[in-house]
Amino acid sequence: MSQVVTRFAPSPSGYLHIGGARTALFSWLYARHMKGKFVLRIEDTDLARSTQESVDAIFEALEWLGIDWDEGPFFQSERFHIYKEYLEKLADSGQAYYCTCSVEEVEEMRKKATASGGKPKYDGSCREKGRGKTDSAVIRFKSPLMGTTVLEDVVKGNIVFQNQEMDDFIIQRSDGMPTYNFAVVVDDITMGVNTILRGDDHVMNTPKQILLYKALNSPLPTFGHVPMVLGHDRTRLSKRHGAMSVTAYRDMGYLPQAVLNYLVRLGWSFGDQEFFTIEELITKFNIPNLGRSAGVFNPEKLTALNADHIKAMPSEKLALYLIPFLKQKGYPAEEGNYLTGIITTLNTRSKTLIEMAESASFYYVDQLEYDEKAVKKFLKTDILEPLAMLTEKLANAKDLAQETQETLFKEVLETTGIKFGKIAQPVRVALTGKTASPGIFEMIDILGRDRVISRLNHAIKLISGQQSK
């Protein structure tokens, strides 16, 4: 085969959802794996449903996922002159014809066919009448009346269609608009697309498209139809299964790498491996490993995989994704050692970037909000002396390296005779306002001497206030 050219051709009538994103991903990965081209085409011939907002949303989602394109974006609405040229080719060669049958007449034909045990289809009334173009005429493709059309599918295997069950389908409506099956074939021919990976909801369209390729004397592309993504109840994926637009997952704090990793596993496998980087996917992705059974969307698995990608991502890179979430909360976050240090204390404890931003709050706020139960349980008068002793030692220490901290804590424990756990939780509450947090030594190292001493002194005042009551 010549250079592989794949495509993604969404309809701009809404946001890019999980199923569409997976289709784009498979085509993009195969193009990248084969060092080919990936074409983006916007199928916007349905002018009533197509919106610029949807076009922008599709671009935004693809760019966030990191799915780039080599050619395009092409818009079908700008290609009517090309469709007209190919329509004329078919009409001039006698492989298409004008039909003036009304909608009501065609409906009656379908009812008669059904009543006689056949498939509801147009009966070919205008097929050999040589009708001319009129304002109400459609153009129909002259389908073969006998024989078979074979779809050689690289995922599903060969599928055979009986030509006699297909009617002379419309390729141009009476308003001059090309139909879907005709437009996509012309687009794929003129754009050099030779590999089409898409959802298996398109299988029934494919025999019509194959006939059009043959009529236009164009080589057939490689077709691969992958099973649809299903919800946990094995029905078609929808919002009630937890599936939303791609950008909704971005806004919920998922990493694009995790979303891509999860999407590719909904229909493709490589042994038992679950975690993939983008580089690994490009290297390993292949058509033979595409599955024939439907993938089941599981939000919990996506979240778990997102946690794995958060752990694996270098702190400097993760900071770029985390900063917008911190700024949404009003924190003065910026790239640098302070933020990367924060991330190292939270990346093994966070499933999403929203969760991480929430956990990072104590690193940024000037005044902590204390958990009242934690204060009552741990900031008691019996810890006042050890806490004051530790605060003084930390204030006077030459540095707050973790080795230094361990030594100072050990000195306090030896002097007061208490166990580490007895002072650790009060210090944790004093520094974060909560009982659950990263390691104490890590936090002190990142917060810095001034913040640490200020917060410990505030805790001492709280305890002293209790003592004086």
Q: 435 — phi, psi (to 5°)? A: -95, -15
* CA–CA separation, 232 and 295 (whole Å): 10
Query: Do 302 and 260 meet the contact criterion of CB atoms below 8 Å apart?
Result: no
CB–CB of 185/158 below 8 Å?
no
- Retrieve residue 158's tokens: 């060969």
Per residue, the 3-state secondary structure of the chain, as one string, reads CCCCEEEECCCCCCCCEHHHHHHHHHHHHHHHHCCCEEEEEECCCCCCCCCHHHHHHHHHHHHHHCCCCCEEEEEHHHCHHHHHHHHHHHHHCCCEEEECCCHHHHHHHHHHHHHCCCCCCCCCCCCCCCCCCCCCCEEEECCCCCCEEEEEECCCEEEEEEHHHCCCCEEECCCCCECHHHHHHHHHHHCCCCEEEEEHHHHHHHHHHHHHHHHCCCCCCEEEEECCEECCCCCECCHHHCCCEHHHHHHCCCCHHHHHHHHHCCCECCCCCCCCCHHHHHHHCCCCCECCCCEECCHHHHHHHHHHHHHHCCHHHHHHHHHHHHHHCCCCCCCCHHHHHHHHHHCCCCCCHHHHHHHCHHHHCCCCCCCHHHHHHHCCHHHHHHHHHHHHHHHHCCCCCHHHHHHHHHHHHHHHCCCHHHHHHHHHHHHHCCCCCCCHHHHHHHHCHHHHHHHHHHHHHHHHHHHHC
Residues annotated as catalytic are 239
